[in-house]
Amino acid sequence: MVFRKLPGVSASGMGLRLSQKFVFLLFLSGLVTLCFGALFFLPDSVRLKRIFLSKTDTQPVTVGSGSENDAREHLKRPKEQEHGPRGMTPAKGETNSSKLKSLSRKPPVSHEATEERLAGGKAQEDLTLPRSRTDPSGSEKATTPDRGANSDTFSYQKFKSCLLKAPLGRDNGKPSDPKTNERREKVKEMMKFAWDNYKRYAWGKNELRPLTRNGHIGNMFGGLRGASIIDSLDTLYVMGLMEEYNDAKEWVQTSLDLNSNGEASLFEVNIRYVGGLLSAYYLTGEELFKSKALELGEKLLPAFNTPTGIPRGVINLGSSGTSWSWGWASAGSSILAEFGTLHLEFVHLSELSNNAIYKEKVMNIRKLLNKIEKPHGLYPNFLSPVSGNWVQHHVSIGGLGDSFYEYLIKSFLMSDKTDDDAKKMYYGALEAIEANLVQKSAGGLTYLAEWRGGILDHKMGHLACFSGGMIGIGADDGAPEKRQHYLDLAAEITHTCHESYTRSATKLGPEAFRFDAGAEATATRLSDRYYILRPEVIESYMYMWRLTHDPKYREWGWEAVEALEQHCRAESGFSGIRDVYTTTVSHDNMQQSFFLSETLKYLYLLFSDDDLLPLEDWVFNTEAHPLPIVRKNCLQDEATQDKTVSE
């Protein structure tokens, strides 16, 4: 290094004088101290701090390693109710102050997980991904030369012309039977009541607390707000509540801020926000929803920056784009129901953006799952995003696993039945499930047990009750000789889930019910007795009605409406309850956003004609947001489609 000679200072062959050296070294040490102080204390240095301070998971994880507590099965809920999906609401919504955590078709996040993240969390083994063929720079941003022409390559009018039926039917799905229509109008009134109270007391927050009449934000969405608004857009539109829909649209236009720097659940943001915005766009043609969905989808891409391409469950939505695994997940693993519940939305992000990167990410997940060995053909719930190996041998069709299987069959259906890989994976998984998990109780009830390394746990969660509808909608596309078998299996599982409702004092089902020690479809643990407005049982009623038109499914749905009105309707909204086995109701003070998106929508569809969001044209994501079937040459102009697919 050359230093300019200072005036009046002589130099010898030995260089600077001792006193000058001391001053220079003092200056240099001060500069170094200043730099490191900035690194560790300035607010924008979070990503660098994680690189230097956090541990790394570079050791390969072998199948079967890790703790067998399955994150304590998420049986205990945190003090404050979080959102969960049939995924993480915390998995679909966490519950109340009972300190019990629920597991949703969307796994929950615990306070312990939050504390671990705040303390530094897991380091990112690799902050870069192999370069995408569609992005030569290696950047995870969805920028291609074609991006500026998005509005030219996607034709909404062309999309609408490819639908086999009008989305809202001939008369908005109004049934000709007066009794059925009266019941449908009741469901619509319930939606309006829930929405009006949300707007009055919690506008812009994520959910309504109906007892205390205030809003709940939670930590599942990384600073994003308005989860109930986004989740309600398509429900309001389909029900014809246009004043309420327009209020929601205006909020999205003026107040939905996607420039969040918080730490969010990849799964929850995808199924609720991305799914809700995509659905609203396809139903209405409002470009606002499309642009917001694409902007948010781009923010999720860095979660895939792992050695295997399996995304981690938590992502910072800000400029850092860092991601990590949930603190409660075994050995820093990713959750099957989370990384396996991205395909529907990401395929549509590629269609709308004319950028293949989204589809490439989810197809890479498929490739890895097809390569690794599956015990008895089953998919365990925990997978290391570093080694690509399973962590633990716990298999569940309920929480932690559920919507992975749902998205396999729905990916096949959404592809206009051209996605043979999804079809093969789904029916292979269903075969393994039948061979290992499907059980018959002493009382003749068919249920899905959980599998723990070869040992069956004779428990079925409310979240697993979606599987009746799932098996039903896939009945036509397996081996022809098994069609009736699958329909019968779907009906039997749906019947079992209905029994879990009828055997409670409130006629609402518990979070989990058992089939051992003399129990039959009843919760035997206090921690399983709650109900948080979940939709899965009603979802199966809706599908089974459309597949069979057996009137019992509408009767069962009406029983649920009456139970919701009697036990969950509060003065200022709907609330979950802590114990379904007592009529002395104790509310949990939470109106989950999925109640508006799923529970009430499925009830409304159950009492509507089949041409309202017909299954020939639409599939529902795991948050009940309808997405259209992708037909060849129907979403993009034929001339631009070649650019979308990377060879």
Active site residues: 511
Q: Which residue has the tokens 């950028």?
A: 355
Helix, strand, coil share of the chain (percent; to 5): 50, 10, 40
Distance CA 242, CA 244 (A): 5
- Residue 410: enclosing H or E segment and its boundaries? helix 402-414
Name the nearest CA neighbour of 408 among 350, 359, 483, 342.
Answer: 342
Continuous H helices in 221-342: 227-239, 242-255, 266-268, 275-284, 287-300, 336-339
Three-state secondary structure string covering 26-89: HHHHHHHHHHHHHHHHCHHHHHHHHHHHCCCCCCCCCCCCCCCCHHHHHCCCCCCCCCEHHHHE
Q: Is 596 helix (H, G, I), strand (E, B) or coil?
A: helix
Distance CA 546, CA 610 (A): 7
Question: φ and ψ at 277, to 5 degrees?
Answer: -70, -40
Name the nearest CA neighbour of 348 among 420, 283, 263, 401.
Answer: 283
Distance CA 140, CA 129 (A): 8
Q: Which residue type is seen at 304?
A: F
Distance CA 546, CA 542 (A): 6
Q: How many of the other CB atoms lie within 10 Å of CB of 504?
A: 24
Q: What is the DSSP string of 98-146?
A: TS-----SB----HHHHHHHHTT-PPPS-S--PPPTT-TT---S---TT
Do 469 and 497 meet the contact criterion of CB atoms below 8 Å apart?
no
Inter-axis angle of helices 420-436 and 357-371, to 10 degrees?
Answer: 40
**Residue 243 to residues 233, 285, 431, 506, 557: CA-CA distances in angstroms?**
11, 17, 47, 34, 27
Q: Are strands 626-628 and 618-620 parallel, antiparallel or unpaired?
A: antiparallel
Phi-psi region of 533 (alpha: psi -120 to 50; beta: other; left: phi over 0): left
CA angle in degrees (0–180, nearest 5) for 337-339-345: 100
